[in-house]
Amino acid sequence: MTSGPQTQSSTVVWVIRLVVLVSFLDLFMQVPIISTYARSLGATAAMGGLIVGIYSASNLFGNVGAGILLDRVNRKWLVVVGLLATAALLFAYGLVDSPAQLLALRILHGLAAGTLAPGAFTMLADRTADDQHTRSMGLSGALISASAVIGPLLSVGIRDAVGGDAGFGAVFVTSGTLMLLSAIAFAAFVPGSTNVPGDAAAKAEPLLLSKNFALARVYLGVLAMTFAIGYLINLLPITLEDAGAAPRISGIAFATFSLAGMAIMASPFQRSIREGARTRAIAAGLVLLAVSNLTLALFGGSTLSVSVFPAMIVFGAGFGLVFPSLSASVAARTADGNRGAAFGIFYAMYSLGVFLGASVSGAAPNLGTGAGSQFYVPVLVLVVMLAAAVRLRDLRG
């Protein structure tokens, strides 16, 4: 169920999408430098790992908290506060002088940034017609893929151009400035939300997954998708290095994945995915993610540096199918009174999946059937999640 879309100009929609771009750009700009920044402050390897990972943990709680608040306050101003708080915290990165201070800052950063994606996607859903949810979410997802390509390149470029310890600060100031400008644009161009909180049952509906099997399937899907992403992010660079591939191959592989996903999500094909086709698109996308990991498992030896590129194209295509349809399913199955909570849970599952995938990849044993045999694990997870989703669909009626 969904409320009628609000009639808004394309300028408003693209300003909301700007928040999506900037929030994920901030995330991906951190990836190449945060561990080395922690080390420059004297962090041990264990402390550095905690500093890197604590952002995702606190972001998960930020997603859930933001989801609850989005259904109780004016959504516009919650997003503006989140942007301003995140900007202030990014400016503060250059002021810390110990690992403990950096750890505390990362916790606050994750909490503040946790308001942005749920807020932006909820407000986009509020302003989109029922038959355009998948297309709208696809364009927004394409911006996420674009940020995955641009963010690391921008971060490393700024750091190298400035040099020394000041290079780290320049990256954080750049990201903080983008947040600040986005907050100004959002406050100036986006009208306040008109959501009317629903009754207690409506607001609790996204949490009652034992009764709302449609949303339960969506959350299983996002957990499976992001588990595969987290697993890939942590294990693929190591596997490529062990196979003797040049360091640049890893970066090119992830860029290939991001570009393939962006191409699918921004394509006119998304217009054809309506309510009845979303389930098929999600299932097909998860199958493609499994096929990609299966390719890496089967050809993970000396041929990995060649086979990784078709595998990443398939992985990106799978992500491009799954993400817009999952997001659109949340939008289509919620109303103003519970949509914020539903998107908050959605992004909490996103963070949890990446965390679990990265954690399991570090502990997964080599199965002894080849250099890439560890990639059988996400294949198994994806198959199990698909089977569970099918079972939930059967239980619905």
Taking all residues of the chain, what is their mean pLDDT, rounded to a whole number? 84
What are all long-range contacts of 94-101, with beta carbons under 8 Å and residues at least 24 apart?
94/168, 94/169, 94/172, 94/173, 96/41, 97/41, 98/41, 98/42, 99/38, 99/41, 99/42, 99/43, 99/44, 99/47, 99/48, 99/51
Whether the full predicted model's pTM is greater than 0.75, yes or no, is yes
pLDDT at 371: 58
The residue type found at 107 is: I
Task: Give the integer Cα–Cα distance in Å for 93 and 106.
Answer: 9
DSSP state of 391: H
Task: Give the integer Cα–Cα distance in Å for 91 and 84.
Answer: 11
Tokens (6 digits) for 287? 């199958």
Contacts of 195 (CB under 8 A, 6+ apart): 70, 71, 75, 126, 336, 337, 339, 340
Q: Which of 17-21, 289-293, 334-338, 388-392 is predicted with the least confidence, judged by mean pLDDT?
A: 388-392
Domain 10-396 fold is: Growth Hormone; Chain: A; (1.20.1250)
Q: Are the CB atoms for 233 and 358 separated by under 8 Å?
A: yes
pLDDT at 66: 93
Task: Give the integer Cα–Cα distance in Å for 113 and 115.
Answer: 5
Tokens (6 digits) for 280? 């098929």
Which strand (E) or helix (H) includes residue 137? helix 133-162
pLDDT at 395: 47
The helix-helix angle for 304-332 and 339-363 (nearest 10°) equals 160
Task: Give the integer Cα–Cα distance in Å for 369 and 376.
Answer: 10
Query: In this predicted model, which residue has the larger pLDDT, 194 or 266?
Result: 266
Task: Give the integer Cα–Cα distance in Å for 387 and 286.
Answer: 11
pLDDT 10s digits, 14-42: 999 999 999 999 998 987 788 889 989 99
Query: In this predicted model, which residue has the larger pLDDT, 94 or 338?
Result: 94
Map out the domains of the chain as residue ranges. Answer: 10-396
Residue 235 pLDDT exceeds 70: yes
Q: What's the mean pLDDT in 258-286?
A: 82
Task: Give the integer Cα–Cα distance in Å for 289 and 312.
Answer: 9
Task: Give the integer Cα–Cα distance in Å for 376 and 358.
Answer: 15
What stretches of 63-222 adopt beta strand conformation (E)?
none
Task: Give the integer Cα–Cα distance in Å for 343 and 232.
Answer: 24
- Residue from 278, 279, 224, 275 nearest 393 by CA: 279
pLDDT at 108: 97
Q: Cα(first)–Cα(last) distance of the chain, in Å?
A: 17
Residue 3 pLDDT exceeds 70: no
Tokens (6 digits) for 201? 């049952």
pLDDT 10s digits, 106-147: 999 999 999 999 999 999 988 877 667 788 888 888 998 899
Cα dihedral: 14, 20, 21, 25 (round 10): 170
The full DSSP string for 256-311 is HHHHHHHHHHHSGGGGG--HHHHHHHHHHHHHHHHHHHHHHHHT-STTHHHHHHHH
Residue 248 pLDDT exceeds 80: no
